[in-house]
């Protein structure tokens, strides 16, 4: 991935195309309707100039071969946002195995894998709602005392 800026750009743009809700047969105009050229080029340049695409891809490779059933449950209060065009959609019932203390689960009306870039206001509002929920929970108040 670090040998060719054109190859890197192609790889990243393909991810933006397919992971943001655009269909493979749609023209690149679909991606441009969701992200500016400046946002796309900035993303590509961050990976190119830092040479960090191989290390970024490592996480996906390791998780592909990992046994998720061996993950220990995480008891901390958790908020999850399910964006409809994200790469993987997991039912809330499955998520409770790893995250038994789901305080908030939001089915988002739109957005995909790049939610922070694609739908920043939706994501920020959801995060703030989660923070208020956790701060106002009875458990949080007893821990502060």
Domain span holding position 130:
69-136
Structure-model confidence comparison of residues 94 and 39, the more confident one: 39
Give CA angle at 82 (59, 40), nearest 5°: 60
Exposure on the CB side of residue 33, measured as CA atoms within 13 A = 9
Same domain, 112 and 130: yes
Domain boundary among 45, 66, 87: 66
Q: What's the predicted TM-score (pTM) here?
A: 0.77
Residue 99 domain-assigned?
yes
Q: Are residues 27 and 84 in the same domain?
A: no
Q: What is the pLDDT of residue 68?
A: 58
State mean pLDDT over 7-12: 93
> Parallel, antiparallel, or unpaired: how do β-strands 102-107 and 78-82 relate?
parallel
141 within some domain: no
How far is the C-alpha of 34 from the C-alpha of 16, rounded, in Å? 9
> For a pLDDT cut of 90, what percent of the chain falls above it?
52
The position carrying tokens 């023209």 is 27
Q: Is residue 145 part of a domain?
A: no
Which pLDDT belongs to residue 74? 86
The verdict on 75 and 29 lying in the same domain is no
Q: Under 8 Å CB-to-CB from 48, ≥6 apart: which residues?
A: 2, 5, 8, 9
**Which band of pLDDT confidence, cut at 50, 70 and 90, is reported for residue 1?**
confident
Q: Are residues 76 and 62 in the same domain?
A: no
Structure-block tokens of residue 54: 């191989």
Q: Are residues 54 and 100 in the same domain?
A: no
Q: Are residues 94 and 107 in the same domain?
A: yes
Domain count, the chain: 2
Which residue in the block uniquely carries the two structure tokens 């390791």?
Answer: 62
Q: What is the pLDDT of residue 42?
A: 96
With contact defined as beta carbons under 8 Å apart, do 35 and 20 qualify? yes
**Domain final position from 66, 82, 104:** 66
Residue 142 is predicted with a pLDDT of: 56
54 & 32 share domain: yes
Tell me the pLDDT band of 66, cut-offs 50, 70 and 90: low
Residue 124 has pLDDT above 60, yes or no: yes
Number of helices followed by number of strands (H, E) in the chain = 8, 2
Residue range 79-123, pLDDT digits in tens: 999 999 888 888 888 899 889 999 999 999 999 999 999 999 999
């Amino acid at each position: 991935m670090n040998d060719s800026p054109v190859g890197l750009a192609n790889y990243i743009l393909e991810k933006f195309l397919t992971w943001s809700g655009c269909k493979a047969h749609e023209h690149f105009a679909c991606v441009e309707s969701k992200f500016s050229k400046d946002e796309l080029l900035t993303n590509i340049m961050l990976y190119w100039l830092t040479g960090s695409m191989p290390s970024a891809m490592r996480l996906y490779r390791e998780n592909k071969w990992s046994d998720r059933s061996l993950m220990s449950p995480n008891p901390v209060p958790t908020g999850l946002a399910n964006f409809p065009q994200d790469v993987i959609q997991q039912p809330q019932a499955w998520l409770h195995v790893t995250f038994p203390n789901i305080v908030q689960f939001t089915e988002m009306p739109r957005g995909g894998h790049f939610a922070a870039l694609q739908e920043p206001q939706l994501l920020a509002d959801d995060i703030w709602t989660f923070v208020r929920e956790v701060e106002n929970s009875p458990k949080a108040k007893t821990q502060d005392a």
